[in-house]
Each structure stands twice: as C-alpha cells, then as structure tokens.
C-alpha cells in the first residue's frame, strides 16, 4: 500500500518550503488512495522547542489538510537502537572510540582521502578487532557507532529519483557516517530510515537538499534488509536573487503563519505553493483542492528551483508577497459564497475593534468581494461601513467634475431633502436621486459624486445605491450634513 510521510524537525517555525513538502505528500496520498503519516523528527533535543512544535501544528491545522497517522520520533528510540545493533551484528557498522571534537590531524591525516580530501573514516577504529572493541565497550568507554561503508572494491551506491532521475555515487567517496552518537542517541540518518522501515513508508517525497543524504539512506535500508522506498526530491524555493529562502535573510515571508495573518485563504495558499515546482501541464493556475488532487503526479514536478517573487525591501505590505499569490487569493475570495466569505471576514473586523453584527457583515460582503485581495483588506476597503465618524478628507473631493463648490452644495442640500423621504432600497434610491439630478439640470455623475464622497470619505467606493442601503438613512443624512458644513 502507498504510504508517505511528512517529517518536520521542531527546531523552528513552519517554513513555506516545508508546507509545500507536506502538501505534495498529501496530494500524492489522496490521489492514489494512500496513507498520510505525520512524524515529528524530534530527536535533536538540544534544538527542539515547544514553540516550534506549536508553530508546526498551528500551520498544518490552518492548511486544513488532515493526516491519517501521527508519531513522535523521540518515542521510538528503542526501535532505532535495535536496528543499529542489527546492522552492527552483521559487521556492517563498528564502534568508534575517538573522543568527540578530536581533529583529523590529531588522529591521522590519511583519513582525508575523499575526492575533495574530506574526512572519510578513522582507519584505527574501522580496523579495530571486534574482541578489542567489545572489551573497551564493556569498560564503559564511550563510542559512536559508525556505518562501515564498503571501500576499495569500486562499489557504487545508486537509486532512481522520480524527479532527478538516476543518481550514482562511488562508495569510496562516502564517509563512515554515524548511526549512534557517543551519548547513545540516534543520528538523523539512522532514526529517519529506521522509522521509514518500521512505518512501511513506500515513497519519500522531500526537499532537494536531502538528495545527497539519500546515498547514506540507501545503504542503511539495504543493510537493515529493507527495500529502499521510491524517492522524489522537490526543487528548492529561492528568493528573486536566487538565494535559498531563509528566515535569517528574508524574514517573515518564509513563515506559513505570515500568510495566514496577512489574510490569505488556506486553499489559495495551497494552490500557490503547488505551482512552485509543479504544474498540471495544461496551463491551469487557479485550481480547487479537488482539482489539485485529480491532477497531481510526481511526473509534473520540475527540476529547476522555484522562485518566490517578493520585493525586498517591500515598499507596500502587498509587495512582501508574490503577485501570483495575491492574484490567486483574490480569485479564491471571489469564488466563495457571500455567506462563507462573510464568516471569514467577521473575525478580522472584530479583531480590528469593530463589533459589527453578522447581518451587517453579510450585507457589506458582496459590495467589497471584488475589491479585496487579502482578507485583511476588509478593514481598509470597508472602513466607512465600520466607523461611526469618517476620518478627515479633503472637501475639494466633494466637488463634481466640471463643477464647483456651489454645485456640490446644491447637490448635497437637495440629496438630504430627497433621502429624508426615500425608502432605503436600491430601486427607490436610484429613481429619486436620478430625478433630483434632472431637477438640478445635472448629469447623474455630477449628482452622485458629492454624495459618494460625503458618505464614504472618498471617490473610490462600491456602487452608491447599495452602499446607501447598507449605511442606512440616519448615518447617510448625518454624513451629508457634515459634508455641507465642510463646504
């Protein structure tokens, strides 16, 4: 059965690259009727933090993609040691009693025999007789357990990656890597492979930065008597300058929660991440979750690194995000029903300090749905619906095109009289204000602009009659009276 896993280390926030890895695993499992495993690789006790664990789960829950099984690597240490011992008993690993932090020069320069004169192994430890090794271990002397990489026979380690094709490396160029540290804790390589074997993981889909680790992992799988899974390594996410995305260099833009807090819809964010390094091969971009499941395949993953196009420094809040991410979010917002979008906007409006009722939020939503790219935009785009008093605006904005202050004053005075007697529904408002414009000998636009600015505080606003209907008679008349005072 197809089984995939997402195995984050809780040493930092949930990175957008890690989120993409989770999403690709999830899509592959759901596309093929497989099992999605979440495994917390938390054996690095010195770097693990509870804040990081919280960040990972917070981000994954926001994505709203479920998993089928959940494990913590730290609860599986006995299994890791059992597999390490099995490899040792086969003679495929050896104890290295070299004290930690000992330099290569202090041991023997002949260890530096790799292709680039890198450290490969300590001959004195690798060739130590088993009886001597057992004797020293029995006295309590600390040791690391190292894998005995086959040497001198021209052996090659190879695997076929679903994205990058056949990968081959000479075993002579692979160091005798540690399986257990001198404190008895498993290394990443051992723990990861031991868990993948025990959890019957059939496909390992992870970042391209793990490609070079895979040679060691193939050796571990084979030495443990297990068939290596199918590997698929994903292209890296890079900044516009080609550098790898990192929080140290690029700041909050690499954190999943930054997108959540900015007002991205999780489904739009998932859609955006999928297009970074994968395509459905039919030029589609705006895709629902089900469409992504139906289209996803490992064959659609690209080898080239994927660029996240944000500006640094960002002159505006929107420039901190890739324009395609913003476009997709706006498209997904427009695809939501009024009720669903209203329900998502209401908590944001409340958090901004505007205690409006759900009914009013639902009335506002269709008027702004086409005008927002991010959920947080509601606070600025719909501000005149939310506040009691409009912020100061330039009275010159009240003057209509080819008009003057006197014309604006006539319009607002007549509008106040008409609106005091008009039912606040779209059609009566439309008919009566158009009739008033004719009375005054004005074009409709010259009549509507002063009213729009008076009630909204600006020219750029949703359709006038729908806006007046939501604002209501009392607020409308009060704001028109204040505008008349400005003139």
Q: Is 425 exposed, middle or buried (0-12, 13-18, 19+ CB in 10 A)?
A: exposed
Torsion angle in degrees (nearest 10) through CA of 185, 189, 192, 197 = -110
* 3-state secondary structure at position 441: coil
- Whether residue 366 contacts residue 256, with contact meaning beta carbons closer than 8 Å, is answered with no
Between helix 464-471 and helix 473-486 the angle, nearest 10°, is: 110
CA distance 274 to 281: 13
**Residue of 247, 281, 402, 425 marked catalytic:** 247
Nearest in space to 369 (alpha carbons), one of 344, 404, 350, 393: 344
Measured on CA atoms in the order 239, 243, 245, 251, is the torsion positive or negative? negative
CA distance 430 to 449: 14
Place of tokens 């991010």: 374
CA distance 398 to 447: 10
Nearest in space to 38 (alpha carbons), one of 17, 51, 16, 23: 23
- Whether residue 402 contacts residue 437, with contact meaning beta carbons closer than 8 Å, is answered with no
- Whether residue 202 contacts residue 229, with contact meaning beta carbons closer than 8 Å, is answered with yes
Torsion angle in degrees (nearest 10) through CA of 357, 361, 364, 366 = -150
Return all residues near 442 (Cβ < 8 A) that are at least 6 apart: 400, 407, 411
Structure tokens at 195: 């868990």
The bridge status of strand 178-180 relative to strand 165-170 is unpaired
CA distance 294 to 301: 15
Active site annotation includes 443:
no
Q: Residue 355: how many CB atoms within 10 A of its CB?
A: 7
Alpha helices in 48-101 (DSSP H): 50-63, 77-89
- Identify the DSSP state of 312: S
Catalytic residues: 247
């Amino acid at each position: 059965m197809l089984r995939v896993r997402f195995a984050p280390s809780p040493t930092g926030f949930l990175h957008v690259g890690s989120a993409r890895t989770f999403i690709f695993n999830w899509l592959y499992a759901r596309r093929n009727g497989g099992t999605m495993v979440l495994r917390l690789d938390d054996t690095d006790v010195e770097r693990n933090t509870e804040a990081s664990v919280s960040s990972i789960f917070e981000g994954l829950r926001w994505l709203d993609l479920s998993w089928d099984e959940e494990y913590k690597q730290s609860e599986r240490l006995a299994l890791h040691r059992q597999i390490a011992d099995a490899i040792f008993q086969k003679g495929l690993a050896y104890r290295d009693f070299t004290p930690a932090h000992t330099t290569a020069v202090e041991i023997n320069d002949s260890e530096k025999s790799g292709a680039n004169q890198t450290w490969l192994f300590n001959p004195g430890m690798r060739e130590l007789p088993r009886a001597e090794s057992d004797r020293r271990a029995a006295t309590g002397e600390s040791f690391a357990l190292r894998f005995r990489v086959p040497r001198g026979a021209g052996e090659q380690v190879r695997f076929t990656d679903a994205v990058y094709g056949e990968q081959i490396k000479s075993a002579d160029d692979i160091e005798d890597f540690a399986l257990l540290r001198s404190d008895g804790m498993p290394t990443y390589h051992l723990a990861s492979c031991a868990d993948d074997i025990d959890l019957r993981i059939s496909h390992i889909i992870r970042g391209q930065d793990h490609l070079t680790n895979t040679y060691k992992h193939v050796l571990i799988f084979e030495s443990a008597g297990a068939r290596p899974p199918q590997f698929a390594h994903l292209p890296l996410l890079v900044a516009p300058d080609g550098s790898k995305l990192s929080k140290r260099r690029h700041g909050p833009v690499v954190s999943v929660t930054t997108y959540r807090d900015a007002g991205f819809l999780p489904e739009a964010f998932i859609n955006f991440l999928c297009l970074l390094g994968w395509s459905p091969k039919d030029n589609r971009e705006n895709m629902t979750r089900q469409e992504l499941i139906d289209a996803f395949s490992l064959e659609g993953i690209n080898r080239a690194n994927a660029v996240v196009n944000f500006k640094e420094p960002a002159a505006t809040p929107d420039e901190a995000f890739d324009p395609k991410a913003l476009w997709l979010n706006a498209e997904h917002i427009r695809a939501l029903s009024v009720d669903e979008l209203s329900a998502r906007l209401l908590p944001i409006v409340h958090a901004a300090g505007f205690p409006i009722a759900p009914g009013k939020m639902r009335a506002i939503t269709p008027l702004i749905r086409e005008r927002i790219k991010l959920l947080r935009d509601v606070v600025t785009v719909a501000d005149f619906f939310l506040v009691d008093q409009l912020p100061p605006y330039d009275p010159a904005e009240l003057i209509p095109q080819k008009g003057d202050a006197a014309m604006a004053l006539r319009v607002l005075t007549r509008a106040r009289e008409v609106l005091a007697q008009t039912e606040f529904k779209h059609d009566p408002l439309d008919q009566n204000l158009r009739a008033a414009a004719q009375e005054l000998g004005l074009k409709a636009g010259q009549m509507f602009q002063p009213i729009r600015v008076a009630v909204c505080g600006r020219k750029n606003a949703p359709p006038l009659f729908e806006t007046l209907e939501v604002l209501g008679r009392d607020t409308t008349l009060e704001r028109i009276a204040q505008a008349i005072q400005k003139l």
